[in-house]
């Protein structure tokens, strides 16, 4: 069967739909729909992060909510200090909180990257089911830590009263904030696309397909995987930072294993290892949640049915269904 459309063109169409939908909603004065699209965009970014580890590297991490949550908490904690005019630390020198997104994002990315470095360094000594379980275990550790840490809200979470700011943009306006998130997503996707075709991308895909061969060629599979895991964690952490600002709230639920599972669902729905797989997946997820959620609380039944259909009949997910098998050179 000839493919309906090349993957590259499909990606452009999808990017335009994701941009056009909220624009239309904005001019139709439906700010809620803009916010819904923002949510999809941010969740997509979390999925893009996991897709680097899971799709390109074959690393089935069941603990990516840890990075999502750490990114979120990094923003929440620093912003709450800023709101309360309390410095983050006073000795040996004073560090004040901030409400500048650029700084907050940087911290979120560094924190989640460091966490991914530690978790990855330990977890990547295992593989298969053990890897899945150990990543889950690390995420659960962080989850329970967040719950039991009263200084930053514990189980109740932490509120950010005013959305943090970004130079030249009024982040309080739904459309502006959407466009900011959309731009971040596009920049990350562009970077991932370059990376996939560059030497690192080749090494990572080779490790997924034939680890022994890569070692025989003199490269260390462990280091390649670890680097991918860190990059993956950083991207998901950045998504967590945006998510904190979207909801103006962070809570341990951002770190729960449900969320790890949902991020994985985005990828499977959209297409594993496909650039726009998580974007499609997250949009479908949010759409399902909104459409079916409005008349039944059991909307996840429909999501489950869709997931089952994809796993049974369309292994390449949505992208695979429309654009056919992935091409490599």
Partner 1 sequence: MIEPVLSLSGLTKSFGALKVTDSVDLDLVPGEIHALIGPNGAGKSSLIKLVAGELAADAGSIRFDGRDIAGLDQPARARLGLTRTFQVSSLIPEFSARGNVMFAAQARRRSVFGFIRQVNRDKELISEAEQALDRVGLSDRSGVRVSELSHGEKRLLEIAMALAMRPRIFLMDEPMAGLGQEGSSRLIGFLDQLRTEAPILLIEHDMDAVFQLANRISVLVAGRIIARGKADEIRTHPEVRAAYLGEDQA
Stretch that binds partner 1, among 150-158, 162-170, 219-227, 278-286 (CB under 8 A): 219-227
Please state, in angstroms and rounded to a whole number, the distance separating the CA atoms of residues 115 and 71: 10
Which span sits near partner 1 by CB under 8 A: 26-34, 35-43, 69-77, 216-224?
216-224
Residues 6+ apart with CB under 8 A from 85: none
DSSP 256: S
- Taking every pair of C-alpha atoms in the chain, what is the biggest distance, in angstroms? 67
Residue 203 interacts with partner 1 (CB under 8 A): yes or no: yes
Contact stretch for partner 1 (CB under 8 A) within 142-150, 220-228, 254-262, 287-295: 220-228
Is 234 a residue that touches partner 1 (CB under 8 A)?
no
Does the protein bind partner 1 through residue 315 (CB under 8 A)? no
Query: Residue from 227, 306, 314, 321 that binds partner 1 (CB under 8 A)?
Result: 227
Would you say 222 or 302 has its CB closer to partner 1?
Answer: 222
Residue 122 makes contact with partner 1 by CB under 8 A: no
Does residue number 19 form part of the binding site for partner 1 (CB under 8 A)? Answer: no
- Verify binding: residue 117, partner 1, rule CB under 8 A: no
Rg (CA), the chain: 20
For partner 1, which residue of 220, 258, 287, 296 counts as binding (CB under 8 A)?
Answer: 220
Instruction: Write down the least CB distance from residue 184 to partner 1, Å.
Output: 18
Could you tell me which stretch among 32-40, 144-152, 164-172, 205-213 binds partner 1 (CB under 8 A)? 205-213
Is the Cβ of residue 87 or residue 201 nearer to partner 1 in the bound state?
201
Residues 166-195 that bind partner 1 (CB under 8 A): 191, 194-195
Tell me which residues in 97-116 interact with partner 1 (CB under 8 A): none
Instruction: Report phi then psi at 169, rounded to 5.
Output: -130, 140
φ/ψ of residue 232, rounded to 5: -60, -45
Residue 155 CB, shortest distance to partner 1, in Å, is 40
198 binds partner 1 (CB under 8 A): yes
What does each C-alpha distance from 225 to 9, 26, 128, 191, 192 come to in angstroms? 30, 42, 14, 18, 15
Are the beta carbons of 111 and 119 closer than 8 angstroms? Answer: no
* Beta-bridge mates of residue 169: 166
Nearest distance, CB of residue 18 and partner 1, angstroms: 25
CB-based burial label for 19 (10 Å; 0-12, 13-18, 19+): middle
The residues, any chain, with a CB within 8 Å of residue 244's CB and separated by 6 or more, are 71, 72, 73, 75, 76, 79, 160, 250, 254
Q: Which residues of 208-218 are buried (b: 16+ CB within 10 A; e: fewer)?
A: beebeebeeee
For residues 275 and 188, give the distance between their C-alpha atoms in angstroms, rounded to a whole number. Answer: 10
DSSP 95: B
Q: How many residues bind partner 1 (CB under 8 A)?
A: 29
Residue 42 and residue 34: Cα distance in Å, rounded?
Answer: 12
129 interacts with partner 1 by CB under 8 A: no
Q: Does 213 bind partner 1 (CB under 8 A)?
A: yes
- In this complex, which beta carbon is closest to partner 1, that of residue 216 or of residue 312? 216
Stretch that binds partner 1, among 78-86, 123-131, 150-158, 199-207 (CB under 8 A): 199-207
CB of 228 to partner 1, least distance (A): 10
| Residues making contact with partner 1 (CB under 8 A) | 191, 194-195, 197-203, 205-206, 209-210, 212-220, 223-224, 227, 326, 328-329
């Amino acid at each position: 069967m000839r493919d309906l459309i090349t993957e590259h063109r499909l990606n452009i169409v999808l990017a335009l739909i994701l941009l056009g939908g909220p624009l239309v909603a904005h001019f139709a004065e439906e700010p809620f729909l803009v916010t819904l699209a923002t949510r999809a965009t941010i969740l997509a970014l979390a999925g893009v992060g996991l897709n680097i580890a899971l799709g390109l590297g074959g690393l089935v991490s069941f603990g990516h909510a840890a990075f999502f949550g750490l990114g979120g908490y990094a923003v929440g904690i620093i912003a709450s200090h800023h709101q309360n005019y309390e410095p983050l630390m006073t000795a040996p020198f004073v560090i004040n909180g901030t409400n500048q997104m650029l700084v907050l994002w940087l911290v979120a990315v560094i924190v989640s990257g460091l966490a991914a470095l530690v978790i990855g360094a330990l977890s990547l000594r295992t593989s298969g089911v053990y890897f899945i379980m150990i990543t889950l275990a690390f995420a659960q550790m962080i989850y329970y830590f967040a719950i039991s840490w009263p200084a930053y809200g514990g189980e109740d979470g932490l509120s950010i009263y005013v959305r943090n700011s970004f130079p030249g943009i009024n982040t309080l306006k739904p459309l502006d904030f959407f466009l900011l998130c959309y731009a971040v997503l596009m920049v990350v996707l562009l970077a991932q696309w370059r990376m996939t075709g560059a030497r690192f991308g080749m090494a990572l895909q080779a490790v997924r397909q034939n680890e022994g061969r890569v070692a025989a060629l003199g490269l260390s599979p462990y280091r390649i995987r670890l680097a991918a895991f860190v990059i993956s964690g950083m991207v998901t952490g950045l998504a967590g930072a945006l998510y904190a600002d979207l909801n103006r709230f962070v809570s341990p639920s951002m770190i729960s294993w449900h969320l790890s599972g949902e991020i994985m669902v985005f990828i499977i729905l959209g297409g594993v290892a496909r650039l726009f797989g998580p974007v499609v997946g997250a949009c479908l997820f949010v759409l399902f949640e909104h459409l079916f959620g409005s008349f039944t609380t059991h909307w996840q039944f429909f999501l489950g049915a869709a997931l089952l259909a994809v796993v049974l009949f369309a292994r390449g997910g949505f992208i695979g269904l429309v654009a056919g098998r992935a091409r490599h050179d």
